[in-house]
Amino acid sequence: MCGMKTKTTIFLLLFCFVVSGAQAKKKSYSVHNKGYFFDAGVAVGATFPKNVDPRMMLEVFTTHGYQFSNTFSLGAGLSTYNTENITIYGQLRFNLRNISEAKTHYTYIAIRGGYSWSTWTGDSWGDDKGPVIDPRFGWSFYTKAANLRWSVFAAASFQQFHFLPKIGLAFEF
């Protein structure tokens, strides 16, 4: 089982990503500028495995990539559910509005695809692995006072052939 040490390490890694983004040169996040981007966030949901009671899940993730235009970005990321697995994924994201001027909010769609491995040790290590597909619909907001872009989303994720509906919050840099 993963202990407090693993959870603390994951939290510190995500915190470092957020701090490094905040210390980068000051730019306005009111528009999606071409170039490097990253986000960090959390999601909550439930898993519905076959013949087992539903179980609450907490996902922590970060995505890094390139914003090619005001509407399209491509990235890769890393996530974990309840520190029980590690997922590596690719992400395509399409903003549903051409963000060429300062907008306070807009909707987007994204799809993530990747592969997940168990972090369990002992007899079941490596047995729990498989593909991940994660389509999501979100709403991105800009808070001018903090120069912060953040988003909320809903996703119908399929993780290792289990259905995981979830909602989440991400900070975009």
Distance CA 154, CA 72 (A): 19
**Helix (H) / strand (E) containing 20:** helix 4-23
Mind listing the pLDDT tens digit for each residue in 71-117?
A: 899 999 999 988 888 999 999 999 998 766 666 788 999 999 999 98
Query: Domains in the chain, start-ordered, CATH in brackets?
Result: 4-22+37-172 (2.40.160.20)
Q: What is the average pLDDT across 109-131?
A: 79
Cα 160 versus chain centre, distance? 17
Quick one: pLDDT at residue 25? 54
Q: Token pair of 59, please? A: 């996902």
Closest CA to 39 of 63, 23, 19: 63
% of the chain with per-residue pLDDT over 70: 75
Strand partners, 139: 107, 152
